[in-house]
Amino acid sequence: MKRFLALSLIGSSFLFGSTSIKAEEYDSWAIKINETTWVRQPTYIDPLDPSKGGEPGYESYFIEVYEYNSVTGSENRKLRHQQLQDSDIGTSDQWKMYQVDKDSITLNSIEGKINLKVTGQNKQYIYDIKNNTISTSDYDAPTNPTSDYQKIFEIPTVLGKSDGTKSIELGGSKIVSQESDGSVQLGADTNDIDVVADGLNIDGAAVITKNTDGSIQIGADGNDIDITAEGLNVDGNPLITKKDNGEIHIGKNSLITKSEEETLSDGTKVQPLYAKDADGNKIPINIDGSKLLIDGVEVTAGADITQITTNKNNISTNTSNISTNTSNIKNLGEGVAGSTALTAALSALPQTSKESKLSCGVGTGAYSSRYAVGFGCASKVSERVDINAGGSYVFGGSKSYGGGTLDSGVVKAGFIFKLGELNKPNQISIKEKEEFKKEISDLKENNENILTKNQKLENKVFTLVARLERLEKIALSETTSKDVAVYKLK
């Protein structure tokens, strides 16, 4: 442990990498292995005399991995790993307490890993550069140690030659090289891709080439595609070309259309399609071996233009029919609106008569700018039979829509016959109400007369009762002479 503490005071770091870099970029990996921390504090009774009892302490080293710029000195820490944990003490992993041997740190450029052997142990840490992780493994010494050789040179990642060429190799195999003419080669000489000043070659054959006129050639001469300022050529012949006047040419002696439609003298917009020969003269378009149809109808070849004339006449007739049908549809719509207004006016007329023998009414209706007025009557023939009749008229007259005419007037007539028992409605009419009021008034007057008569009868009864009481006293001789009253008979 004393040796461990002594080693903890020795600082060390390890650098390796290329010396040709750009400013503010990292060209090296830098390793720090000198920093320590207590994992378990010592518990000696007397730190100067361990024999008096107590337990020694345990410290752990840190492994720190940095990206490093050897020109500017800037660094970026990628990983900080504490070697020993408290749970490792007293186990087979207690070897983690020992410091990494700075002279045994190696770079495995093939696998992209850094190996860090622990001092005095057959153990090592392995840092994975790509995944930024650290792990442990057993250390296996090289089968041919460096002591077997008088001199060993590491194969550099970047090789330079006196002719100015540079290459990046891995395990002796060329990966990327820059040639003296400035071209860049990817891969070995026999299976490579060359990036040259005017394009891209594969195995020495041109694949993509930029020509002096600015066009781009895909493939070798004689079997190539050229992308020019006007369009696309195949084997030197135009395939698709757009001219300055807006024409789009398909082929050498071209089938031509325009990028935008044209307008005829009558205002009709059309998409032009025609052909020209090599001298720029317009030539016929030949439909070879296939039929040419217009709206599904075959166009007959030859000088006979009867069919074309027929088609032209049919088109003219169809145009006229379309115009007529459009007008008819408009008239039909107005006629339907008028019919709706007629119906609305009819629905406002009376259907039955309740309070009188005959009821008549006027109704109106409107729909979509069409207006109608109606007149009708309803009559109560008996308790069981009602009849009604009426009609309506729409302003603006009738409408003809080609296949017929929608009239401007409509009439109706109907009757209602009531079956079964007749139930009086809960509501009463005005006439019945007046009759009820008169009857109630008469009953009230009769009632007042009866009350007056009753009052008179009550007075008479009271007088008679008093007389009977006095007669009763006389009859029983229970009264004195002053009690006798003489009443004059009427």
CB 68, CB 28: distance < 8 Å: yes
| Assigned CATH class of 329-417 | alpha beta
CB 226, CB 232: distance < 8 Å: yes
Tell me which residues of the chain have a pLDDT lower than 70.
Answer: 1-24, 154-164, 169-174, 253, 301-308, 328, 330-331, 341-342, 345-346, 351, 353-355, 397, 399-404, 422-431, 477-490
Phi, psi dihedrals of residue 312, rounded to the nearest 5°: -65, -45
Strand 205-210 to strand 58-68: parallel, antiparallel, or no bridges (unpaired)? unpaired
pTM attached to this predicted model = 0.38
3 state SS of 94? helix
Check residue 164 and give its pLDDT. Answer: 65
Q: What is the DSSP letter of 62?
A: E
Q: What is the pLDDT of residues 11-56, one digit of tens each?
A: 345 555 544 444 447 878 899 999 999 999 998 888 788 888 888 8
Burial category of 376 from C-beta neighbours within 10 Å (exposed 0-12, middle 13-18, buried 19 and up): buried
Token code pair at residue 1: 């442990």
Strand 358-367 to strand 293-294: parallel, antiparallel, or no bridges (unpaired)? unpaired
d(CA 135, CA 126): 5
Token code pair at residue 187: 């891969």
Q: What is the pLDDT of residues 193-221, one digit of tens each?
A: 777 777 777 777 777 777 777 778 777 77
Check residue 426 and give its pLDDT. Answer: 59
d(CA 467, CA 84): 142
Check residue 145 and give its pLDDT. Answer: 76
